A and B are shown apart, each in its own frame.
Chain A
Amino acid sequence: MDKIKKFFSSNIREISLIIVMIAIAFFVEFRSGGNFFTGENISDMLTETAVLAICAVGMMTVMVTGGIDLSIGAVMALSAMVGGTVLKNNQSVPTIAIVLISIAVGIVCGFINGTLVSKLRILPIIATLGMMNIFRGITYLVSNGSWVMQQDMGANFLSLATGRVLGVNNLIVIALAVYIIAAFFMTQTRTGRKIYAVGNSEESARVSGIKTGRTLTMVYTILGAIAGLGGILYVCKYGVAQGETCTGYEMNVIAACVLGGVSVNGGTGRVGGVLLGAVLLGILNNAMPLIHVSSFWQEAIRGLIILLSIIANSLIQRNVEMKALRRRNI
C-alpha cells in the first residue's frame, strides 16, 4: 500500500496528464460519434505528433540544464533545406545520407549555440534568439528563396514518412527509438545524470568535478542533432521545404516540454513526461477538427488548455508538498 502511495505521489505529474488525456479522448470519442478510437485515427495522430515529440525530448535536455533554445525551428528549417537542396540536385542520393547530412547541419548549429552559451556565457535565451535570426537568414540564402517541392524529393525519399515497419508508421518507430535512447541516456548513464546535476546547481556541479562547460555544449549539440533529424522528417512528412518551414515551431516544442513537467528553471524533467506532453498536444490538434471546432477557435482553445493544465499541475504539486510537510510534522 505504501509503495502504491509512493508511486502515486512521485509520479503525480504524469498521472494527472494521463487523466487529462483520457478525459479529452473520451469527450471527443462521444462528441464525434466514435471517430476517435479507430486504429487509423490513432495512427494518424501519433504520426502527426512524432516530429514534435522527437524535438521535445531534445529541448528537454537543454531545459534540464536551465537553458532554452529558441532557434530550434530555424535549425530544423536550415538542416531540412540543406538536405532538400542536396536531394533536389541529385535524387539518387540514398535517404539515409540525406538524413545524416541534415543531422550534421543540425549538429553544427547546435554546437555554435552551445559554444555561445558555455564559452561566452551569453544567456541561452539571448544567444539562441540571435542565432534564430541568423539560421533563418541562412536558410533563405541556401534556398535562394525557392522551395523544394514534393516532385524534387522523389518517391524514394518521401516513402520514409509513409512507409511502415510491422504496420507502424516509420515516424512513430523513429520517435520511439529516440525516446528509448533518451530514457536510457538520461537515467542510466553518467553523462545523463551530469545534465541534471548541472541543471540543479551549476556551481555545485562544477565543484564536484563535472566539466559544466562541456556538458552545456553537449546538450545544445544534442538538441541540434535532434532538430536536424526532426527537420528532415518534418519536410519528408509534409513534402515541402521552404524558408518559412517551422516558423514558430519552437513555441510548440517548449509548450510540449512544459506540459510534460520540465521546469524552465532547470533540474527537473523526465523523458516520459515529455512524451505525454507531446502526445497531449497531438491529441488536441487531432481532436478539435474531429468535433468540428472552427479552425479560428482552435488556437485560443489550445492556449487555454495549456494554461489551465500548467495551473492545475502547480495546484496539484502544492497539494502534494503540503501533504508531505504535514506528514513530517507528525
Chain B
Amino acid sequence: MAKNITKQVMQSDGTRIISAERGFSWKRFLLQWEWMLVLMLIIVNVFNISVSPNYANVKNILNATRDFLDKAIVVFPMAFVLMLGEIDISVASIMALSATIMGIAYQAGIPMAGAICIALATGTVCGLINGVILVKFPELSSMIVTLSTQIIYRGIAQIILETNSVGGFPSWFTQVAAGKIGGMVPYVLIFTIAEALFFAYLLHYTKFGRRCYAMGNSVTVAKFSGVKTNKIKIIVFTMAGLFSAVAAVYLASKMSSVRPDVAKGYELDIIAMAVLGGVSTSGGKGRILGTALAILVIGYLRYGLGLINASSQIIMIVVGALLIIAVAIPSFRESVGNANWFKKLKSMAAKSQGT
C-alpha cells in the first residue's frame, strides 16, 4: 500500500496538509478561503450597485479606494506580524507620532521632502524599538509591549503638538492623496498594489517568507533549524513601523493637516482586515491575496453603507458581525465535521457505499 503513505507537504501558504499525493486537487483548490472572500466581494458590490445606480462606473470604484487605503498600507506588514504569532497594537500610535514629527519638521523650515524622510525614519525607529524590546525580553508577550509603546508613542505626539494641529503643507504634497494617473487611478492605489505585490513576493517566494511561516508554526523548532528568529522578528516589527509611517504621510496628505489624535483606533481595524483575510493571530497561517481581498471587502462594504447613509454605528455592527462570521465559518465546519452525529452519518454512508 505504498500509495497510502501519508506525506506532510508544506504548501506555499504555510498550511501543512497531509495528503497521499501532492498533486492538484479541485476540492482543495475550491475550499480555499480566498473564494469565500471573492464571494463576499461580489455580494458587497451587487449590494452597492443595487443601492446606487451611479456606483457602477470604473472611475467611481477606483476613486472609492482612496477612502480606505490608508489602513490598507499597514495591513500587509501587520499580516507578517500576525503570521509570526505576534501582534502590534502600536501601529496607529506610530502613525500619529510620525505624522506629528513630519508636521513640526516642516514647520521648522525643513523642506517637505526632508520632512517626509524624517517621518519615515521616525516610524522605522518606533518599529525597531518594539522589535528590540521583544527580542531582549522574549518572555514578554508582544501584546503587552506594544500596548505600552502604543501609549508612549501617542503620548509623545501629544507632548509635541499638545492640542494644536499643523497644516499649510505645500500644494504638491496634498496632491499626492488627491492625484490620479490619467484622471482615473489614484496614486495610492498604484502604491498599494505595488506594495501588495512586494509583500506577496516576500512572503511566498523568498526564504524570508518561508522562515516567517516556520516561526509562526513554532519558534522553537524554527530556532533549532537554524532560523535567525530574533533577526526576523526585528525586521518584521521594523517593517510594520516603516509602513505605518508611510500610511501616516498619506493620511496627512489626505487631510492636509496633522494632529496628535490622528488614526485613533485604527489598529483594531487593521488587525480585523488581516484576520478577515485568513491570517491567523496564532501564527503560521495566511496569504497576501486573502489579505488584499479582505481590504477590498471591508473597504467597499463601508463605502456602500455610506451610500445608503447608514449611521456609523450600523457600519460598526456590520463590520463586527462580518469579522465574527468570517472566522466562525471554518471552525463551524470543523466542529460539525468532528461532531459525533456527523461522524456516524459519514460512516453509515461509507458502509452503505461499501456494500
Residues of A within 8 Å of B315, CB to CB, are 137
> Quick check: B140 and A129 within 8 Å, CB to CB?
no
Name B152's closest neighbour in chain A (CB-CB). Answer: A303
> For window 280-319 of chain B, which residues contact chain A by CB distance below 8 Å?
280-282, 311-317, 319
Residues of A within 8 Å of B113, CB to CB, are none
> Which of the listed residues A126, A131, A254 has the most CB atoms from chain B within 10 Å of its own CB?
A126
> Quick check: A300 and B327 within 8 Å, CB to CB?
no
> For window 308-334 of chain B, which residues contact chain A by CB distance below 8 Å?
311-317, 319-321, 323-324, 327-328, 331-332, 334
Instruction: Tell me the minimal C-beta distance from B261 to chain A in angstroms.
Output: 11
- Assembled-state Cα–Cα distance A301/B314 (Å): 36
Instruction: Tell me the minimal C-beta distance from B328 to chain A in angstroms.
Output: 5
> Quick check: B139 and A314 within 8 Å, CB to CB?
yes
> Quick check: A127 and B324 within 8 Å, CB to CB?
yes
The answer to whether A7 has its CB under 8 Å from any CB of chain B is no
Instruction: Tell me the minimal C-beta distance from A327 to chain B in angstroms.
Output: 21
Q: How large is the interface on B (under 10, 10 to 19, 20 to 34, 35 or more residues)?
A: 35 or more
> Quick check: B145 and A140 within 8 Å, CB to CB?
no
B143 contact from A116, A123, A140, A264, Cβ within 8 A: A264
Instruction: Tell me the minimal C-beta distance from A72 to chain B in angstroms.
Output: 14
The answer to whether B256 has its CB under 8 Å from any CB of chain A is no
Instruction: Tell me the minimal C-beta distance from B161 to chain A in angstroms.
Output: 9
> Quick check: B87 and A141 within 8 Å, CB to CB?
no
Instruction: Tell me the minimal C-beta distance from B97 to chain A in angstroms.
Output: 10
The answer to whether A122 has its CB under 8 Å from any CB of chain B is yes
- Assembled-state Cα–Cα distance A300/B151 (Å): 6
Chain A: interface secondary structure?
helix
The answer to whether B179 has its CB under 8 Å from any CB of chain A is no
- Assembled-state Cα–Cα distance A134/B324 (Å): 10
Interface string of A134-152 (1 = CB under 8 A from B): 1011111100000000000
A120 contact from B137, B320, B321, B335, Cβ within 8 A: B335
Q: How large is the interface on A (under 10, 10 to 19, 20 to 34, 35 or more residues)?
A: 35 or more
The answer to whether A310 has its CB under 8 Å from any CB of chain B is yes
Residues of B within 8 Å of A122, CB to CB, are 324, 327-328, 331
Name A297's closest neighbour in chain B (CB-CB). Answer: B159
Name B311's closest neighbour in chain A (CB-CB). Answer: A140
Name A252's closest neighbour in chain B (CB-CB). Answer: B151
> Quick check: A141 and B313 within 8 Å, CB to CB?
yes
The answer to whether A255 has its CB under 8 Å from any CB of chain B is yes
> Quick check: A310 and B140 within 8 Å, CB to CB?
yes
Residues of A within 8 Å of B275, CB to CB, are 126
Interface string of A263-306 (1 = CB under 8 A from B): 11100000000000000000000000000000011111111101
The answer to whether B158 has its CB under 8 Å from any CB of chain A is yes
A304 contact from B144, B152, B272, B331, Cβ within 8 A: B152
Instruction: Tell me the minimal C-beta distance from B131 to chain A in angstroms.
Output: 14
Instruction: Tell me the minimal C-beta distance from A239 to chain B in angstroms.
Output: 23
* Sampled A-B contacts (22; CB under 8 Å): A68-B143, A121-B331, A121-B334, A126-B323, A129-B268, A129-B320, A130-B272, A133-B316, A136-B313, A137-B314, A137-B316, A137-B317, A140-B312, A140-B313, A255-B151, A264-B143, A296-B159, A300-B155, A301-B155, A304-B152, A307-B149, A314-B137
B residues lining the A interface (CB < 8 Å): 87, 133, 137, 139-141, 143-145, 147-156, 158-159, 162, 265, 268, 271-272, 275, 280-282, 311-317, 319-321, 323-324, 327-328, 331-332, 334-335
Q: 4 nearest interchain CB pairs?
A: A300-B155, A133-B320, A303-B151, A140-B313
